[in-house]
Each structure stands twice: as structure tokens, then as C-alpha cells.
Structure 1
Amino acid sequence: MAKSNPAQFVQEVRSETSKVVWPTRREVALTTAMVFVMATIAAIFFFLIDQLIRLGLEQILQLGG
């Protein structure tokens, strides 16, 4: 394992951090909105599938009883 002094490590971290491209406020807002929309769509989809499975199981159980 290579040993380096803390000052060199901090310098390298700052160098790498300066290469990061940060998103704009608009990009963050748009991405957040898309996440909320997709989460809502997924929740509705799984709710409907759950209701369909429940209905099917009720029908099957009524046949036996």
C-alpha cells in the first residue's frame, strides 16, 4: 500500500473535486419531479396488480367454499 502524507491527499481530493460537474438548479428540479412522477406511476401500477390478484384469489376461494 502506497503511503502519502495528508497534505498531498487533501491536494488530490481538491483536484478531483474540481473535476465534478454539478447539476444546475433546473436539472435538479426536473429530475426530482420525474422521480415523484415515476414513483406515483409505480405505486398505482402495483396497487392495481394487487387488487387484481386479490380479486382472483377471492374467486378461487369462493369456488371451494
Structure 2
Amino acid sequence: MATTNPLQFIQQVRSEVSKVVWPTRREVFLTTVMVFILSALTAVFFALVDIIIRWGLETVLTTFG
């Protein structure tokens, strides 16, 4: 196992962090909005599927039950 002294480790970390391309405020805002929109659409989709399945089961159970 290789050992690295703390000073060298910090220098390596700073070097790697400087390579990171951070998103702009606009990019963060747009991706956040997209997550909320897609979450809402997914919730509506699954609510509709749930309603359709419930309606189908109620129909089958009242017809044959």
C-alpha cells in the first residue's frame, strides 16, 4: 500500500478540483426546473395508470363477483 504525505495529498486534490467544470447558475436552474417538471409528469402518469387499473378491477369484480 502506497502512502502519501498530507501535503502531497492536498496538492493532488487541488489539482484535480481545478479540472472540474462547474455548471453556471442558469444551467443549475434549468436542470432543477426540468427535474420538477419530469417528476410531476411521472406522478400524473402513475396516478392515471392507478385510476385505470382500479376502474378495470372494479368493473371485473362487479361483473363477475
TM-score, length-normalised on structure 2?
A: 0.95
| Distance in 2 separating the partners of 1:57 and 1:6 | 65
Count of residues in correspondence between the two structures: 65
1:10-21 equivalent positions in 2, closer than 5 A: 10-21=10-21
| Distance in 2 separating the partners of 1:44 and 1:55 | 16
State the percentage of identical aligned residues. Answer: 62
Deviation at 1:15, TM superposition (A): 0.5
Q: For residue 29 of structure 2, what is the aligned residue in structure 1?
A: 29
The residue identity in structure 2 corresponding to 1:49 is V
Unaligned ranges ≥5, structure 1: none
TM-score, length-normalised on structure 1?
A: 0.95
Deviation per residue, 1:21-41 (Å, 9 max, x gap): 000000000000000110010
Runs of 4+ in 1 over 4 A off after TM superposition: none
| Distance in 2 separating the partners of 1:64 and 1:6 | 74
Cα RMSD over matched residues? 0.7
Q: In structure 1, the residue corresponding to 2:47 is in which secondary structure?
A: helix
